Structures are given as C-alpha cells and as structure tokens.
Structure 1
Amino acid sequence: MEWGYLLAGLGVGIMVGMTGVGGGSLMTPILIFGFGIQPAIAVGTDLLFAAVTKAGGIWAYWRHGVVHWRVVWRLAAGSLPATLLTLWGLSATGVHEGHHNDLITVALGVALILTSSALLLKNWLAGIMKARQGHPLVNYLYRLRQDETIKAPATVITGGLLGIMVTLSSVGAGALGAVVLLFLYPRMRGVEIVATDIAHAVPLTAVAGLGHSAVGTVDWSLLSYLLMGSLPGIYIGSHLGVRISDKILRPLLAIILLMVGIKCLL
C-alpha cells in the first residue's frame, strides 16, 4: 500500500508541475475512491499535503514581487475565520467518528464541478468580456470591479466561501480563487493572479489542515508517503509542462475533475 501512496503522490505532483492545478482536486478523490480512505481523513491529510507542496511557490513569487499582499489579507480576512468556524462545527458534530462522510463527499463533488467549470470557462468568459466592451451589462460589471467600496467586501466574502469549501472538501483554493481574482482585479497580470492565489491558499490549507489534525482527521504516515512521491513529481512535471501544450492539459484535467465530481454526487 505504501508504494501505492508514493505513486499517487508522484502522479499528482507531475500534474501539479505541468498545469499548476490539480493537487487537492485530484488527490482527495484518489484517496477516497482509489484507496478507500475515510472522506474526512482524506480531506484533512490532503489539506496539509497542499500546504506543503505549495509553500515553496510563495518564496519564489515573493522574491519576484508579484504577490498582491493587500488582496491576500482581504481573502484571508474572510477565509480563516470561516475555516475555524467550519472546523468547530465539524468537530462538535463528530467528524472524527465519520458522521459527515456523505456531507464531505457531496461538498467534494460540488467543488470539483465548480473547479472544472472554472478551468473550462475562464478563457471563454474573459474573451466574452473583452468582445462585449461597450455593452451596458459589461460596462456595469467593469464599474463594479473598479469600485473599492464593493471590491473589498466582495473579496472578503469570497474568502469566506472559499474557506468553507476548502475545509469541507480540500478543493477550491486554486482554480476557483484564480477565477474570482481575474474578475475582481482585471488589472492584475496572470502571474500576479497565480502568485496571489497561492499566497492565500497556503495559509488557508495550513490552518484547515492543522484544524483537521486537532480533531483527529489527518493520517501523518499517509501524508509522509504522499509528500515523498509528490516532490520529485512536481520537478518532473515542471519540465514536462514546457513541452506539452496547456491547451491540451487543462481541458483534459477539467474533464477528469468533472467526471469525478459527478461520481461524488451520484
């Protein structure tokens, strides 16, 4: 079984290295459906797995000055309290005893479908917004995005929703967060959106993962095997990614996530 965990970590690490997404989206379903891990333990373990594998990205992006820390604080102002409240609710109602397996599986399915939709529709929606410049509805949306009195609370609320979703399913901090940032902060460059999204995802997944650990839903042995496989996998994937078109990889990943999400809901 240990070799299976190592290979799972390796495979997910390669996908993360190639596409930049797919860690929580792929690992949690693999643990639940591939290895029969209890959903709560799969989510808790995967949250810490995501925090460790993404942590190196913060340092690299911070050195290049592409993290928008004000946006990170806004997201965290919503996500971290929401995460703690969700953890308290799960703990108080017996998550460590497996009482919420169905809830977690449904939350995972919804999160996967939303993530796959974000991957498939992100570029299309951006194209529609550009093509329809001058349309009254598009002009109204652009004005909303430029109004700080609306943008700031909208970012905090978005963080809160991400905190709940990530704590329940370990999915959503990556692709969904990036799509929201793309809409709310249109002046941010692509690399800045990715960097800011990761800078928020690491503390979010770390707090959620440590909270799961406190209520007994993290398997530390499993985590160690996944990390041993994923770290070389990310290195391999980062080299393969420059040779395989992103236009092929992301739609393929999105379709896989959509199929797994539907399976979770059936």
Structure 2
Amino acid sequence: MTVSYVVSGFAVGLLVGLTGVGGGSLMTPILTLLFGIHPSVAVGTDLAFASVTKVAGTVAHRSRGTVRWDIVRLLSLGALPAAVATALALKYLGGISAEIGQVIRYSIAVSVLLTVVALLFKGKLQHWLNAHPEKHLQGRKLTAATIFAGLVLGALVTMSSIGAGAVGATILVLLYPRLTPAEVAGTDIAYAVPLTAIAALGHWWLGSIDWNLLGALLLGSVPGITLGSLAARAVPEKFLRGLLALTLTSVAVKLIY
C-alpha cells in the first residue's frame, strides 16, 4: 500500500506541476475514494502535506519579489481565526465521527466543484474585469472584501483541505485584477502557508493525521512536481485544464452519490 501512496503522490505532484492547480483538490478525493481513508484523516494528512510543500514555493516566489505581503496580511486576518474556529468546531462536534465525516465529504465535493469553476472561468472573469475598471473595489471595501474572502477560505480549507489553490487564485484575480499572474501565484501560495499549517495543527490535535501516509505522499510528490514543472510548456494548457475539470466534476459527483 505504501508504494501506491508514493505513486499517488507522484501523480498529483505531476498534475500540480503541469497545471498549477492546488494538490488538495486532487489528493484529498484520491485518498477518500481510491483508498477508502476516512475523510477527516484524508483532510488532515493533506493539510500537513500542503503546509510542507507550500513553504518551498513561498521561498521561490519571495526571491523573485512576486509576493504581495500587504494582501497576504489581509487574507490571513480572516483565514487564520477562521481555521482555528473551524478546528474547534470539529473538535466540539466530534471530528472523526461518522456524521462529521459525511459533512466533511460533502464539503470536499463542494470545494472540488468550486475548483472546477475556477479552472474554467478564471480567464474570462479576469478579461471582463480588465474591460470594466469601474467595477474594481477600492479602499475600505477592498480591504473588507479581502478579509472576508480569507475568512471563507480559512473555513473551507480547514474543513476540506481544498480552496487555497485554484479557488484562492480566482478570488485574488477578482479582487485584484491588476496583479500579474506571478503575483497571483506567489500571494496565493504565501498566505496558504500559515493557513495550512494552523489547519494541520488543528487536525493533529483532532488525531486525524496519518504520519506514515504523509511521508509516502511527500516521497512521491517532490519528483512529480519537478517533472511536471519541466514538462508544462510541452503540453497544451487548455487540454490539461479541460481534462482536469472533467475529472474533478466526476469526483465531486462520486463524493456526493
């Protein structure tokens, strides 16, 4: 079984490197559907996995100056308290009970569908906003919207481990359409580091992290991400994103039914 986990880590890493989509939208459903791992354990382990892998991405983006730390701070103001509150709620409700496991399973499905929407429509939304600058939020409204977006993402990520990738990037595009693609990616990764770390600590407190599974996933994902990043230019992006959107939609339907 360990070999299967390593192979899964490699496959997810490869797709993340090729498409830039967050690994949670792929890894958590795989662990839940393919390996039959309890949703809470799948979420907790994937959060620990993400908190480790995103640190390297943040270091790389910081060295290139593509992290907007002012936006990271605003997102964190909403996301970090929401992560703590969600972990406390899971503890109070019984984080690894069958009933809460089903709730988490549905939250994973919703998060996967949000990722599909982000994949398919982010470019069109960005184009529309660039053509209508009068629609851009400014000042206090922008600050409040960013903190609120962080709050929603914090709860979503803690419940499902999904949302800090494609969904978070799409929200950044909607709120800050003048950011470059590199700044969107760097800012999205940077705020996700403390968020996934705190959410992972919450799940460790709940007892829902499988450390052996985490090690196997990391062993496979590092070479997968490296290879995917190197091969990204050789594979048509539209084809990959379309295939990924179709796959994730099927996964969401399976999780619900």
TM-score (norm 2): 0.96
State the Cα deviation string for residues 180-233 of structure 1 (Å, max 9, x = none).
111111221110011000001111111101110111000001100000011111
Residue 247 of structure 1: aligned partner: 238
TM-aligned CA deviation for residue 22 of structure 1 = 3.8
Residue 149 of structure 1: aligned partner: 140
* Counterpart Cα distance in 2 of 1:212 and 1:191: 31
TM-aligned CA deviation for residue 127 of structure 1 = 2.8
* Counterpart Cα distance in 2 of 1:197 and 1:22: 10
* Counterpart Cα distance in 2 of 1:231 and 1:140: 43
Give the secondary structure class of the aligned counterpart of 2:234.
Answer: coil
Residue 72 of structure 1: aligned partner: 72
* Counterpart Cα distance in 2 of 1:153 and 1:258: 32
TM-aligned CA deviation for residue 126 of structure 1 = 2.3
* Counterpart Cα distance in 2 of 1:9 and 1:139: 41
* Counterpart Cα distance in 2 of 1:76 and 1:153: 12
The 5 Å alignment of 1:1-266 reads 1-130=1-130, 133=131, 138=132, 140-142=134-136, 145=137, 147-266=138-257
TM-aligned CA deviation for residue 139 of structure 1 = 5.6
* Counterpart Cα distance in 2 of 1:240 and 1:190: 19
> Number of residues paired by the alignment?
257
Report if aligned partners of 1:104, 1:168 keep a CA contact under 8 Å in 2. yes
- Of residues 92-101 and 156-165 in structure 1, the stretch that sits farther from structure 2 once superposed is 92-101
TM-aligned CA deviation for residue 99 of structure 1 = 3.7
TM-aligned CA deviation for residue 140 of structure 1 = 4.7
Report if aligned partners of 1:113, 1:262 keep a CA contact under 8 Å in 2. no
* Counterpart Cα distance in 2 of 1:250 and 1:209: 28
Report if aligned partners of 1:39, 1:105 keep a CA contact under 8 Å in 2. yes
* Counterpart Cα distance in 1 of 2:155 and 2:200: 13
Gaps in structure 1 of 5+ consecutive residues: none
> Following TM superposition, where does structure 1 have runs of at least 4 consecutive aligned residues deviating by more than 4 angstroms?
none
Report if aligned partners of 2:112, 2:162 keep a CA contact under 8 Å in 1. yes
Give the secondary structure class of the aligned counterpart of 1:171.
Answer: coil
Equivalent position amino acid for 1:115 in 2? T
TM-aligned CA deviation for residue 98 of structure 1 = 3.8
The structure with the largest alpha-carbon Rg is 1
| Percentage identity across paired residues of the two chains | 45
Report if aligned partners of 1:74, 1:156 keep a CA contact under 8 Å in 2. yes
Equivalent position amino acid for 1:52 in 2? V
TM-score (norm 1): 0.93
Equivalent position amino acid for 2:124 in 1? W
Relative to structure 1, the CA distance from residue 128 to residue 187 in structure 2 (aligned partners, 3 Å threshold; closer, same or farther) is closer
Gaps in structure 2 of 5+ consecutive residues: none
State the Cα deviation string for residues 70-129 of structure 1 (Å, max 9, x = none).
100000000000000000000111113444111001101111001101110111222334
Report if aligned partners of 1:93, 1:99 keep a CA contact under 8 Å in 2. no
Give the secondary structure class of the aligned counterpart of 2:122.
Answer: helix
* Counterpart Cα distance in 1 of 2:179 and 2:126: 13
